[in-house]
Amino acid sequence: MAEFKLPANSKVNKHGRVFKAPDGAKHVRRFRIYRYDPDSGENPRIDTYELDMDSCGPMVLDALIKIKNEIDPTLTFRRSCREGICGSCAMNIDGHNGLACICASDDIDGDVRISPLPHRPVVKDLVPDLTDFYAQYASIKPWLQTRTPAPPDRERLQSKADQQKVDRPSACILCACCSTSCPSYWWNSDRYLGPAALLAAYRWIVDSRDEATGERLDELEDPFRLYRCHTIMNCTEACPKDLNPAQAIGEIKQMLVRRRY
C-alpha cells in the first residue's frame, strides 16, 4: 500500500533544541526548523531559533543565513541566487512549498515553520534528495529534436505566436516545489513523472521547431507516467514562478485524444 506513515527512523522527535534571542531584542520571531543528521543515527527533530528581526533581512532565506552565520553553523540548506531564479532554496515554509529567498517572513503568521520539500529522502536538514526528480526531467529529452538540418545561414525560424507558447513553460526553474506538493507524486513517484517533468515535456511538445512531437506524446502515453495526474492542481498552487503545470498536463491529455479522432 501507499505509505501514509513515516518510517520509524523518520518520525520527528518532540525535544528539539531552543536557541534564545539575545537579551534586549525587541522584535523577536521564532523559526522552527526541521533538523536531520544521518551521521548521528538519531531521528529528526525540530529546533527553535529566536531571531531579532531588527537585525535580520526580510526574506526567510535571510533568516536561515543569519542562523547559519551567527547562531548554528551546522544548519544545512541549499541556496544560491537569492532572487528566485536558481530554485535551490525550495523548501516547505509554513506548510507551503516555496522558495525561501522570495518568501517574506512578515507574510507568515506566528512561528515560521520550515521543513524540507515533502516526501523526498532527506540528505540532511533542509536538503532533499532530488536524484529521481532530475532523472525524470532527463527522461523527457529536454532538448530540440529534429530530422531537418538547420538552415546553413540562419537559425530555425519560429513565429512570435509560436515562441509565446514556449515562453511560460520555459520559465520553469526545476525547483521541485510542484512535484513534491502533488499527492499522486507522493504515492507513485517511481512511475509518475510529476508536474515539473510533464511541464518540461509540454514545453518541447508545443515548440513549433521540434520534429519529435509524436514520439514525445508516445513516451508520455502511459497510465503511470502521465495519467496519474488527477487534476488536484497543487502543482499550480505551489509554483513560485506562477506557472501552470496542471494546464500543461491537461493540454497534453487533450492532444492524446485529438490525435485519435
Partner 1 sequence: MADGASGRMRSPLGQVTGLGSAKDGTSHWWAQRLTAVALVPLAGWLVIAALAQPDLGYATVHAWLARPVDAFLAALCVVVLAVHSSLGTAVIVEDYVHGRAAKLLTLIALRFAHVLIGAAGVFAILRLSMGTLGS
d(C-alpha 161, C-alpha 91), whole Å: 35
For residue 256, give the nearest of 209, 203, 213 by alpha carbon. 213
**Under rule CB under 8 A, residue 132 binds partner 1:** yes
Q: Which is nearer to partner 1, 18 or 138 (CB)?
A: 138
Q: 92: closest CA among 242, 244, 238?
A: 238
The binding track of 69-88 with respect to partner 1, each residue x by CB under 8 A or -, is --------------------
Size of interface with partner 1, in residues (CB under 8 A) = 31
- Residue 190 interacting with partner 1 (CB under 8 A): yes
Determine which residue in the list 17, 42, 58, 134 makes contact with partner 1, applying CB under 8 A: 134
Separation between Cα atoms, residue 150 and residue 27, nearest integer Å: 61
- Rank residues 1 and 161 by Cβ distance to partner 1 and give the closer one: 1
Whether residue 140 contacts residue 200, with contact meaning beta carbons closer than 8 Å, is answered with yes
Q: Does 6 contact partner 1 by CB under 8 A?
A: no
Among 5-13, 23-31, 115-123, 129-137, which window interacts with partner 1 (CB under 8 A)?
129-137
The x, y and z cell numbers of residue 86, run together, are 536558481
Among 187, 201, 190, 202, which residue's Cα sits nearest to residue 232? 187
Q: Which residues bind partner 1 (CB under 8 A)?
A: 1-2, 131-132, 134-136, 138-139, 184, 187-188, 190-191, 193, 218-228, 230, 253, 256-257, 260
